[in-house]
C-alpha cells in the first residue's frame, strides 16, 4: 500500500514536473544593443547599452522555463553575442552565445533569437556578450531564476540586485588593441566601479591624468599633493577622460529595507578585470548561495566576489533605523577604487551621507589570506552529491602562466597532466619567457603552457559539420570529455612576468562544478595533497578564484603560488570553454581551454544558425546529405525552427492528455 502510494506520488510528480516545464509561458524578451553616449560615472563616453541602459534589464524566469531572447545588434560596426552565464544549455549547446565556440557572433545591424530552457533550479545568474571586448563596453545584465535557492531564503521580506561592474574611460576597442599588441599597452586599473550602472568618478582626479610628472610629487589636486605618475596605476596619458562633469553624476543607488526584515542581496560579479569585496556598514552578511547553488549559511563581515561569480547573501535589517553605506572595493591590485550605494531603512530621515567618510571593515587589497579563508569556508548542502574519487576518469592539471609567446601557441613542454612537468626545469620554466625581444613577442596567458587562439569556424560547427575536426587537438587546447563522466581540474596559480601572483577567476561553461578546495603552494599530486580534497560537502559553483600568495601578492620564489581543485561532470553535449573570467586575460590574451564532447551525440543546430569562418552552403549541404544517407535525422522536435518552438505545445497537449488518461490508474493502481 505504502509502496503503491509512493509510486503514485512519483508518477504524479514526474507528470507535474514535465507539465510545469511545458505549460510555463516562457520568457520572451528583446534586447536592443546600441552604442551611445552616456555618463555612467560623471564622465561622458561611448557605452554599449541594452535597451538604452547599462546594465540591461534584469531577466526573471521560472525554473526550467523556455527562454527566447531576440538580440537586435544596432551597433554600427561591432558584432555581439549573448552568453547566459551559468546556464547549462542541456541539449542546446548552440544557444550558449560564446562566439567562436558555440556559434558565430551576431553581425552589426542584424537580429538573432536565442532559445533554451533555463536551469531547473532557482538561482542568481548573469548574461553578457562573449565577443572580444563588447562586454567590457557594457553589454551585460542579470538573469534570475525565481524561487528559493535554499531553505534559508524561503522566508525573506524582499530582495535587491547589485550588478557590479568595472569601468574604464578608454573605449573597449582601444583597451583590447593594447593588450593584443606586441608593444603591449596595459590600460591601467579601471577608473570606476559601477553598482547597477552607477558610479562616481572624482572629477578632481582629472589632475591625475593631466599632471605629467613621472617622478617627484609636486602635483596637486584640491585635496593636496597627488602621487607621481609612475605610482598611479591608472595613469595613462593617452586615456585622459574626455569630460568629467560633477553635475552629470548619476544618483547614488538606494536600497530600501524595512525594520526587522530579512533581505536577499543578489551580488553579481560582472567585472572585466576587478576582484571585489562588498560590505555593508553596521551589518554582517550571510552567504547562502554560490553561483545558483545552495550554500550552508556563512556569516561574514564582508564578501569577496570575483569576475563571473555570484553570491546570494542575506542581510538582517536589525540595526538602528537609518541610512547605511554599502561599499564595493577593488582588491587584489593596488589601484583601489570604490563604489557606493545606500541601504535605507524605510521611514528613516532622508539624510545626505558622504560615503567615503564612513569606516567599514574590509580586507586590504593585498590580504590574500582573507580570500583563501573565505573561499575555503564555503560549504555546499549536498543537493547534488559529489562523485567519489574512483569515478574520476582524468585529472587535468593546468598551470596558469603569463609569458611572452615564442612559438605558435606554446612555450616550454606543454602538459595538462602534470603541473610539475608543465612548469619544467631550468630554461623551460615560464619565467624565462618574459623578454619581449624588443616588443616583438606577444604577452599572453597560458594554460598548461598553451595560449589559446580563437578558431574562425565555431568549435561546434567544426564538430557537427565535420569541418577541420582534426584541428581540435590537445596541442591546440581542445580536450575531449564525455557526458556523464567525471573529471578533476587542478588550476595552479603562478607568478606573472612582474613576479606578482595575481588573483584569477575561472569559469566553466555548460555545467557547474564541485569546489574540492583551495590550497597554498604547488600541486604535486602527493597522497597528502589528494587526501585534503573536500569530498564531504564541497560548494557548487561555475566560477572559482585562484587566490594570490605572498606579501603584497609577490611570492618570495618563482613557483606555483596556490591552486584550486574542482570536479565536473558534463551534463550535455557541447563545446564548453573553461577560461579566466578576467576578460582582459581571456579573449585578447589566451587564458582559455575548451572541453568538448566530440562529434557524436550533438543535437542538430537551430535552423537560424549563423554561418562564419570555414562554414558555407556546401559544408552544410554535405552534412544534410550525410544525415539523409545515415537516416539519423530522427531527432525529437524540441529544437526550434526559425526561432520558434514548433512542438512544445503539441508535446504539452500529449502529456496533458496522457496524464488525464492515466489518472484513474494512478489513483486505483495498475490493473493486474
Ligand atoms: C610628459 O612629459 C614627458 C617628458 O617631459 C614627455 O615626453 C611627454 O610627452 C609628456 N606627456 C604628455 C601627455 O604631455
Ligand atoms: C524589531 O524587533 C525588535 C526585537 O525583536 C522589537 O523590539 C521591535 O519592536 C521590532 N520593530 C519593528 C518595527 O517591528
Ligand atoms: C558580525 O560578525 C562578527 C563575527 O563574525 C561579530 O563579532 C559581530 O558582532 C557581528 N556584527 C553584527 C552587526 O552582527
Ligand atoms: C532626499 O533628499 C534629496 C535632496 O534633499 C532629494 O533630492 C530626494 O528626492 C529625497 N529623497 C526622498 C526619498 O525623499
Ligand atoms: C597569511 O597566512 C600565512 C600562513 O598562515 C601567514 O604566514 C601570513 O603572515 C599571513 N599574512 C597576512 C598578511 O596575514
Ligand atoms: C608535495 O608537496 C608537499 C607540499 O605541499 C610536500 O610536502 C611533499 O614533499 C611534496 N611531495 C612530492 C612527492 O614532491
Ligand atoms: C535514430 O535512429 C537510429 C536508427 O533507427 C538509432 O540507432 C538512433 O539511436 C536514433 N537516434 C535518436 C536520437 O533517436
Ligand atoms: C518534426 O517536425 C517536422 C515539422 O513539423 C516534421 O516534419 C517531422 O516529422 C517531425 N519529426 C519528428 C521526429 O517528430
Ligand atoms: Cu586571469
Share of the chain above pLDDT 70, in %: 84
* 645 CA distance to ligand 8 middle (Å): 12
How far, in Å, is the centroid of ligand 8 from the Cα of 637?
Answer: 6
Ligand 4 centre distance from Cα of residue 339 (Å): 20
C-alpha cell at position 354: 558622504
Please give the average per-residue pLDDT across 134-145, as a whole number.
Answer: 96
Provide CB contacts within 8 A for 110, sequence distance 6+: 73
Mean predicted confidence (pLDDT) in 263-281: 97
pLDDT in tens, 34-78: 999 999 999 888 999 999 999 999 999 999 999 999 999 999 999
Q: Model confidence over 355-394: pLDDT tens digits?
A: 989 999 999 999 999 999 999 999 999 778 999 999 999 9
Of 662, 481, 483, 506, which is closest to residue 580 (Cα–Cα)?
A: 506
How confident is residue 644, by pLDDT bands cut at 50, 70 and 90?
Answer: very low
> If you measure from the C-alpha of residue 653 to the centroid of ligand 8, how many angstroms do you get, rounded to a whole number?
16
Share of the chain above pLDDT 90, in %: 73
Q: Whose CA is nearest to atom 4 of ligand 7?
A: 632
Q: How far is CA 178 from CA 171, 300, 445, 506, 588, in A?
A: 11, 39, 15, 23, 9
The mean of the pLDDT values for the chain is 89
Q: Residue 197 pLDDT > 90, yes or no?
A: yes
pLDDT, position 152: 87
How far are the Cα atoms of 102, 382, 607, 637, 641 from residue 644, in angstroms, in the given order? 19, 37, 10, 11, 5
Question: Which residues lie with the beta carbon below 6 Å from any ligand 3 atom?
Answer: 283-284, 299, 301
Ligand 6 atom closest to the Cα of residue 521 is 5
Q: Which of 151-155, 259-263, 447-451, 516-520 has the lowest mean pLDDT?
A: 151-155
Output phi, psi for 426, to 5 deg. 50, -125
Residue 620 has which C-alpha cell?
552544410
Q: Is 350 in the pocket of ligand 8 (CB under 6 A)?
A: no
Beta strands in 139-233 (DSSP E): 140-145, 158-167, 192-195, 219-221, 224-226
pLDDT the model gives residue 191? 87
Q: Is 88 helix (H, G, I), strand (E, B) or coil?
A: coil
Q: Mean of the pLDDT values across residues 197-214?
A: 73
Q: Which ligand is nearest to the CA of 531?
A: 6
Q: Collect residues with CB below 5 Å from ion ligand 9.
A: 504, 580, 582, 585
What DSSP string describes 538-582? --EESEEEE---SBTTB-SSSS---EEEEEE---SSSEEEEEESS
> 3-state SS of 59-80?
EEECCCCEEEEEEEECCCCCCE
Res. 628: pLDDT tops 70: no
For ligand 8, say whether the CB of 646 is within 6 Å of any of its atoms: yes
Cis peptide leading into 647, omega within 30 of 0? Answer: no
**Distance (Å) of CA 121 to CA 90, 116, 265, 498:** 13, 15, 18, 43
Q: How confident is the model at residue 241, as a pLDDT?
A: 55
What does the pLDDT read at residue 626? 73
**Do strands 338-345 and 285-290 pair parallel, antiparallel, or not at all (unpaired)?**
unpaired
pLDDT of 645 strictly over 50 = no
DSSP at 640: E
Which residue reads 570536479 in cell numbers? Answer: 567
599 Cα: distance to centroid of ligand 7 (angstroms): 15
Give yes or no for residue 223 having a pLDDT over 80. no
Whether the predicted pLDDT of 440 surpasses 50: yes
Residue 541: strand pairing partners: 513
CA of 377 to the centre of ligand 3 (A): 16
Residue 189's pLDDT is what? 81
pLDDT of residue 188: 79
Q: 6 Cβ partners below 8 Å, 6+ apart?
A: none
pLDDT at 293 over 50: yes
Q: How far is CA 129 from the centre of its chain?
A: 11
Phi, psi of 602 (to 5 degrees): -75, 135
Neighbours of 357 (CB within 10 A): 7
CB-CB contact of 83 with 129 (8 Å): yes
The Å distance, Cα 553 to ligand 5 centre, comes to 11
Rounded to the nearest angstrom, the distance between the alpha carbon of 291 and the centre of ligand 9 is 19
Pocket of ligand 2, candidates 260, 261, 318, 321: which has the most ligand atoms within 8 Å of its Cβ, to mutate? 260
**Does residue 11 surpass a pLDDT of 80?**
no
> Does residue 646 surpass a pLDDT of 50?
no
The least confident of 116-130, 187-201, 342-356, 649-663 is 649-663
Pairwise CA distance, residues 207 & 224, whole Å: 11
**Residues 289-298, mean pLDDT to the nearest whole number:** 97
Least confident of 235-239, 275-279, 536-540: 235-239
Ligand 1 pocket test, pick from 212, 215, 216, 230 with the greatest ligand atom count within 8 Å of Cβ, gives 212
Q: How many CB atoms lie within 10 A of CB 43?
A: 24
* pLDDT tens digits along 74-95: 999 999 999 999 999 999 999 9
Cβ–Cβ under 8 Å, residues 306 and 272:
no
The pLDDT of residue 216 is 54
- Our answer on whether the CB atom of 521 is closer than 6 Å to any ligand 6 atom is yes
**Grid cell at residue 226:** 597627488
The span from the CA of 586 to the CA of 250, in Å, is 31
Which segment of 160-174, 239-253, 610-624, 648-662 scores lowest on mean pLDDT?
A: 648-662
Question: Of all protein residues, whose CA lies closest to atom 3 belonging to ligand 1?
Answer: 212
> What's the gap in Å between 347 CA and the centre of ligand 4?
13
pLDDT range class, residue 225, cuts 50, 70, 90: confident
Cell numbers placing 485: 563522466
Mutate to test the pocket of ligand 1, among 211, 230, 237, 238 (most ligand atoms within 8 A of CB): 237
Which residue has cell 565577443?
131
- Phi first, then psi: give them for residue 329, nearest 5 degrees: -125, 135
Band of the pLDDT at 578, cuts 50, 70, 90? very high
Return the DSSP state at 388: P
Query: Is the pLDDT confidence value at 1 over 90?
Result: no
| Residue 260 in contact with ligand 2 by CB distance below 6 A | yes
pTM assigned to the model: 0.85
Res 136 pLDDT > 80: yes
Is 80 exceeded by the pLDDT of residue 272? Answer: yes
Q: Whose CA is nearest to atom 8 of ligand 8?
A: 637
Residue 12 has pLDDT above 70, yes or no: no
CB-count exposure of residue 284 (10 Å: 0-12, 13-18, 19+)? middle
Cα(626) to centroid(ligand 7), Å: 14
- Report the range of poorest mean pLDDT among 225-229, 270-274, 408-412: 225-229
DSSP 6: H
Q: Which CATH number is 389-596 given? A: 2.60.40.420
Judged against a pLDDT cut of 90, whether residue 311 lies above it is answered with yes
Q: Where are the domains of the chain?
A: 389-596
Is the C-alpha dihedral spanning 144, 149, 154, 156 positive or negative? negative
CA atoms within a 13 Å half-sphere pointing along the CA-CB vector of 154? 3
Question: What pLDDT was estimated at residue 221?
Answer: 67
Q: What 3-state DSSP class applies to 131?
A: coil
Strand partners, 486: 392
Residue closest via CA to ligand 6's atom 1 equals 524
- Which ligand is nearest to the Cα of residue 588, counting in written order? 9
Q: Which residue has the cell 550533438?
A: 602
Which residue, judged by its Cα, is nearest atom 7 of ligand 2? 260
Whole-number Å distance between alpha carbons of 75 and 250: 24
How far CA 220 is from CA of 210, 233, 234, 356, 471, in Å, comes to 11, 17, 16, 20, 56
Q: Is the predicted pLDDT of residue 146 greater than 80, yes or no? A: yes
- Residue 237 has a pLDDT of 55
Give the model's pLDDT for residue 14.
57
Residue 259 alpha carbon, nearest atom of ligand 2: 13
Alpha-carbon distance 172 to 180, whole Å? 12
* Residues 454-465 pLDDT 10s: 999 999 999 999
Question: The sheet that has 192-195: what strands, in order across it?
Answer: 192-195, 158-167, 262-269, 310-316, 285-290, 293-300
pLDDT of residue 231: 63
Q: Is the pLDDT of residue 634 over 50?
A: no
| 53 vs 63: CA distance, rounded Å | 26
| Pairing between β-strand 254-257 and β-strand 338-345 as defined by DSSP bridges | parallel
Note the pLDDT of residue 9: 55
Find the 369 Cα to ligand 5 centroid distance in Å: 6
Per mean pLDDT, which range of 326-330, 380-384, 575-579 is the poorest? 380-384
Amino acid at each position: 500500500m505504502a509502496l503503491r502510494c509512493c509510486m503514485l506520488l512519483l508518477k504524479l510528480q514526474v507528470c507535474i514536473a514535465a507539465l510545469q516545464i511545458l505549460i510555463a509561458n516562457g520568457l520572451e524578451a528583446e534586447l536592443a544593443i546600441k552604442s551611445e553616449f552616456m555618463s555612467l560615472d560623471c564622465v561622458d563616453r561611448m557605452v554599449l547599452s541594452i535597451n538604452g541602459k547599462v546594465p540591461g534589464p534584469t531577466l526573471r524566469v521560472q525554473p526550467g522555463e523556455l527562454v527566447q531572447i531576440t538580440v537586435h545588434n544596432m551597433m554600427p560596426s561591432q558584432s555581439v553575442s549573448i552568453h547566459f552565464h551559468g546556464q547549462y544549455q542541456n541539449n542546446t549547446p548552440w544557444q550558449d552565445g560564446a562566439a567562436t565556440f558555440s556559434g558565430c557572433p551576431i553581425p552589426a545591424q542584424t537580429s538573432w533569437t536565442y532559445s533554451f530552457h533555463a536551469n531547473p533550479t532557482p538561482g542568481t545568474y548573469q548574461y553578457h556578450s562573449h565577443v572580444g571586448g563588447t562586454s567590457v563596453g557594457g553589454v551585460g545584465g542579470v538573469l534570475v531564476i525565481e524561487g528559493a535557492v535554499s531553505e534559508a531564503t524561503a522566508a525573506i521580506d524582499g530582495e535587491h540586485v547589485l550588478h557590479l561592474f568595472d569601468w574604464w574611460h578608454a573605449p573597449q576597442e582601444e583597451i583590447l588593441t593594447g593588450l593584443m599588441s606586441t608593444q603591449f599597452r596595459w590600460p591601467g586599473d579601471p577608473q570606476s566601479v559601477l553598482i547597477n550602472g552607477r558610479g562616481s568618478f572624482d572629477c578632481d582626479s582629472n589632475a591625475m591624468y593631466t599632471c605629467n610628472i613621472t617622478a617627484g610629487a609636486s602635483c596637486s589636486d584640491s585635496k593636496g599633493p597627488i602621487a607621481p605618475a609612475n605610482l598611479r596605476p591608472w595613469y595613462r596619458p593617452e586615456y585622459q577622460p574626455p569630460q568629467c562633469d560633477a553635475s552629470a553624476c548619476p544618483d547614488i543607488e538606494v536600497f530600501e529595507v524595512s525594520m526587522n526584515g530579512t533581505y536577499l542581496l543578489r551580488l553579481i560579479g560582472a567585472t572585466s578585470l576587478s576582484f571585489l569585496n562588498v560590505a555593508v556598514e553596521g551589518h554582517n552578511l550571510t552567504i547562502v548561495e554560490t553561483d545558483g547553488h545552495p550554500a550552508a549559511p556563512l556569516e561574514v563581515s564582508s564578501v569577496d566576489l570575483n569576475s563571473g561569480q555570484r553570491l546570494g547573501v542575506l542581510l538582517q535589517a536589525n540595526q538602528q533605523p537609518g541610512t547605511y553605506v554599502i561599499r564595493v572595493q577593488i582588491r587584489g591590485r593596488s589601484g583601489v577604487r570604490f563604489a557606493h550605494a545606500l541601504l535605507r531603512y524605510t521611514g528613516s530621515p532622508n539624510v545626505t551621507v558622504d560615503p567615503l567618510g564612513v569606516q567599514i571593515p574590509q580586507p586590504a587589497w593585498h590580504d590574500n589570506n582573507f580570500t583563501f579563508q573565505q573561499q575555503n569556508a564555503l560549504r555546499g548542502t549536498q543537493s547534488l552529491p559529489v562523485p567519489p574519487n574512483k569515478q574520476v576518469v582524468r585529472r587535468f592539471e593546468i598551470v596558469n602562466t603569463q609569458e611572452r609567446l615564442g612559438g605558435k601557441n606554446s612555450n616550454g613542454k606543454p602538459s595538462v597532466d602534470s603541473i610539475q612537468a608543465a612548469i619544467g626545469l631550468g630554461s623551460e620554466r615560464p619565467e624565462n619567457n618574459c623578454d619581449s625581444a624588443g616588443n616583438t613577442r606577444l604577452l599572453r596567458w597560458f594554460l598548461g603552457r598553451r595560449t589559446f587562439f580563437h578558431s574562425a569556424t565555431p568549435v561546434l560547427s567544426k564538430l557537427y559539420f565535420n569541418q577541420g575536426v582534426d584541428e581540435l587537438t590537445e596541442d591546440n587546447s581542445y580536450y575531449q570529455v564525455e557526458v556523464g563522466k567525471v573529471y578533476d581540474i587542478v588550476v595552479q596559480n603562478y607568478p606573472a612576468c612582474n613576479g606578482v601572483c595575481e588573483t584569477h577567476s575561472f569559469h566553466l561553461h555548460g555545467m557547474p562544478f564541485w569546489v574540492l578546495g583551495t590550497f597554498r603552494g604547488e600541486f604535486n599530486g602527493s597522497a597528502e595533497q589528494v587526501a585534503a580534497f573536500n569530498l564531504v560537502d564541497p560548494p557548487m559553483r561555475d566560477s572559482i578564484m585562484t587566490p594570490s600568495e605572498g606579501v603584497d601578492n609577490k611570492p618570495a620564489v618563482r613557483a606555483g603560488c596556490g591552486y584550486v581543485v574542482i570536479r565536473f561532470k558534463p551534463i550535455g553535449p557541447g563545446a564548453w570553454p573553461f577560461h579566466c573570467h578576467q576578460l582582459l586575460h581571456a579573449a585578447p590574451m589566451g587564458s582559455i581551454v575548451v572541453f568538448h564532447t566530440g562529434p557524436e551525440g550533438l543535437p542538430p543546430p537551430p535552423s537560424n544558425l549563423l554561418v562564419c569562418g570555414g562554414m558555407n552552403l556546401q559544408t552544410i549541404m554535405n552534412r544534410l546529405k550525410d544525415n539523409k544517407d545515415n537516416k539519423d535525422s530522427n531527432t525529437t522536435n524540441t529544437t526550434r525552427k526559425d526561432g520558434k518552438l514548433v512542438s512544445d505545445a503539441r508535446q504539452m497537449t500529449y502529456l496533458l492528455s496522457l496524464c488525464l488518461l492515466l489518472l484513474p490508474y494512478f489513483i486505483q493502481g495498475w490493473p493486474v
